[in-house]
Structure 1
Amino acid sequence: MLPKMMKAVQQHEFGGPEVLRYENAPMPVLKAGEVLVQVHAVGINPPDWYLREGYKMLPPEWQPQVTFPLVLGTDISGVVKAVAEDVKGFCIGDEVFAMVRFPSGLAGGSRGYAQYVSVPVSEIAVKPEGINHVHAASTPMSLLTAWQFLVDLGHDEPNPLQANRHAPVALDGKTVLVNGAAGGVGHFAVQVAKLKGARVIAVASGKHETLLRELGADGIIDYTKTKPEDLVRDVDLVVDAVGGPTTGRFLRTIKRGGALFPIFPLGFLETEEANKVGVTVSATQVRSNGMQLAELGRLLNSGVIRPVIDSTYPLADAGKAHERATRGHIQGKLVLEVLR
């Protein structure tokens, strides 16, 4: 018999980490096409703190309209506790992981910071046996982002970030520079590019060099000592996992006919300059995709791709995890562990 109430991290206003409250909340109501997952771990991602603050970096007309109390979180790993009558392929007791309702839940409809979450069956996949719930929860958004940018977009939805459809480029035998290579998306982008046959140059603080070489990076640039745009020329692709207004500095590092993929493209305005130097600039919005997650699960299970955990926190300490995020320089991912 499932309980009527659960514990969740809710917020009743926008603000800093201090607005996150661990408190009682109603259980999710299961709808057609969904499964109910008892959450064991929750991965933390930048959209979590963007939403916590109210997406202040967006123009007012783009800011999502939310209803409080708000529950953050998209990336979960746990055990199926109930299935809707129309659901096939998943059963009570299955261990699963998912990126829940993204970007459709951008205004707080994902509700991952909780003991239970309802998930559309199209968005879940069986958790890889070779990794635990903490590592599984750390992967969905960051790894799907790297995969959809670099390998397979996985959908035909209109691109909210540009007029044209994002198109990955061939990586075999190419040179790829990954900026922010030790972070959540970056450390997966390094591994995905290597998996697809690229030579990878990783840009990160020097303290991450050992890890990045273990993940397959062929070269390391310590940005605290050298500006990569002053050192590198003629790469085929730059994946800027930091992005933002400064991403234009990488245009000079890319050969004509190459590409620049800013993971966070907002604020980047130098598309005219990119056209002048013959560089394609393209970005996309990561989207939930259970089929892709199942494919990636096989790579995680075999160890071909491995997640890196910076640190873990109890769900009740979500505010402390967000405080850690504000300090930056995260190696891999932050994860919340859920008491059962």
Structure 2
Amino acid sequence: MRAIQQTEWGSLDSMKLVEVPRPEPLPTEVLVRIKAVGVNPIDYHTAVGRGYMNALTLPHIPGWDISGIVEEVGFGTTRFKVGDEVFGFPRFPRAVGGYAEYAAAPSRQLALKPANMSFEEAAAIALAGLTAWQMLADVAEVGPGTKVLINGAAGGVGHLAVQVAKSLGAYVVGVARKEKHELVRKLGADRLIDYTTSVVTDEITDADVVIELAGGDATIPMLKALRKGGLLISARKLPNIAEIQEAAAKLGVRGSSFVAEPDYVALENLAGLIHHGSLKVEVSSVLPLERAIEALEKIPQGHLVGKTVLKVS
């Protein structure tokens, strides 16, 4: 099968399109003929040596966000049958090898693809959607009337977080550049703030939850947007959680870090929202598998709207 494979950590230079053996599904696994795979920041950071190298080996096939058709069912697997259309975020942080024509994955880390969603859209939603759902529903326990501020509301995770928060009944404040406000408003945000012309914490000081997706120097100042006892959840590695929690304690608020994990229950919740038209993913571009390096090179440029997807023929 064709796959994008990397032979050295540190840059994209050793990444090439190659022929490799097709994987075989083990018991409880399915073999997925991949139709599309999402391109995520973790793919780039892993390639340049800032990811979860201790869970991976070289040569490495990047990619976790997959959608496709079940080609083969391993022994003992009853969740799916051959021909089922599925999507998911399997094995993370261990490798699944999504930038390829086939991948073997645990059946309980996949879900049926909604019929009203394309393979490209499904490949764009698993990681970002799980991040949004698990942060809001599982960690923050957002419900009706919760005031949620989302910093990075137009990004890959952010634009889904806006919709998930609204589906849970929250009042949503979206932080994004002015030119992205119309998109975020259409997704359901109740209030919009342009961080390039306003100081967010001058505008908002009573949020119950802050979803922090920008990272870096933006994180700790966002603690001031919370009410006493409020919770900031950061999906970025920097600053580290100890720094966030120390700063939070001084303000009488809470800080938490977060990494998404494979979860078919959450995938099915997302699929339900998609089926009923309450959740849509913004796909900014679709490129062929051969242009994977080009797609990854866009990641460090930042300010992307929605998700980039590789189409696998």
TM-score interval, smaller chain: over 0.9
Structure 1 residue 240: deviation in Å? 0.5
User: How do 1:116-131 and structure 2 match up within 5 A?
Assistant: 116-131=102-117
Structure 1 residue 144: deviation in Å? 0.5
The residue aligned with 1:188 is: 160
Indicate how the Cα distance of structure 1 residues 260 and 117 shifts in structure 2: closer, same or farther if over 3 A, else same: same
Taking the aligned partners of 2:303 and 2:16, their CA distance within structure 1 comes to 25
**1:244–1:262 CA contact under 8 A, matched in 2:** no
The residue aligned with 1:310 is: 284
Taking the aligned partners of 2:32 and 2:219, their CA distance within structure 1 comes to 39
Structure 1 residue 265: deviation in Å? 4.2
Structure 1 residue 19: deviation in Å? 3.0
Structure 1 residue 21: deviation in Å? 0.9
User: How do 1:1-340 and structure 2 match up within 5 A?
Assistant: 6-55=1-50, 63-64=53-54, 66-103=56-93, 105=94, 109-152=95-138, 167-268=139-240, 269-339=243-313
Indicate how the Cα distance of structure 1 residues 11 and 244 shifts in structure 2: closer, same or farther if over 3 A, else same: same
Q: Which moved more, 1:213-222 or 1:270-279?
A: 270-279
Secondary structure of residue in 1 paired with 2:161: helix
**1:102–1:287 CA contact under 8 A, matched in 2:** yes
Task: Count residues in correspondence.
Answer: 311
Structure 1 residue 188: deviation in Å? 1.1
Letter in structure 2 aligned against 1:92: V
Structure 1 residue 40: deviation in Å? 0.3
- Structure 2, unpaired ranges of 5+: none
Taking the aligned partners of 1:116 and 1:287, their CA distance within structure 2 comes to 21
Residues 38-61 of structure 1 deviation map (CA, whole Å, 9 limit, x = unaligned):
0000011121111111117xxxxx
Structure 1 residue 245: deviation in Å? 4.6
Q: Which moved more, 1:317-326 or 1:126-135?
A: 317-326
Secondary structure of residue in 2 paired with 1:281: strand
Indicate how the Cα distance of structure 1 residues 23 and 193 shifts in structure 2: closer, same or farther if over 3 A, else same: same
Indicate how the Cα distance of structure 1 residues 230 and 16 shifts in structure 2: closer, same or farther if over 3 A, else same: farther
**1:130–1:302 CA contact under 8 A, matched in 2:** no
What TM-score comes out, normalization by structure 1 length?
A: 0.87
Taking the aligned partners of 2:287 and 2:12, their CA distance within structure 1 comes to 14
**1:15–1:52 CA contact under 8 A, matched in 2:** yes
Letter in structure 2 aligned against 1:267: P
Letter in structure 1 aligned against 2:64: T
Structure 1 residue 97: deviation in Å? 0.6
**2:32–2:70 CA contact under 8 A, matched in 1:** yes
Structure 1 residue 294: deviation in Å? 1.8
**1:55–1:64 CA contact under 8 A, matched in 2:** no
Structure 1 residue 63: deviation in Å? 4.7
Taking the aligned partners of 2:244 and 2:78, their CA distance within structure 1 comes to 48
Taking the aligned partners of 1:180 and 1:187, their CA distance within structure 2 comes to 8
Structure 1 residue 179: deviation in Å? 0.3
Indicate how the Cα distance of structure 1 residues 151 and 66 shifts in structure 2: closer, same or farther if over 3 A, else same: closer
Residues 151-174 of structure 1 deviation map (CA, whole Å, 9 limit, x = unaligned):
02xxxxxxxxxxxxxx32333212
Taking the aligned partners of 2:111 and 2:26, their CA distance within structure 1 comes to 18
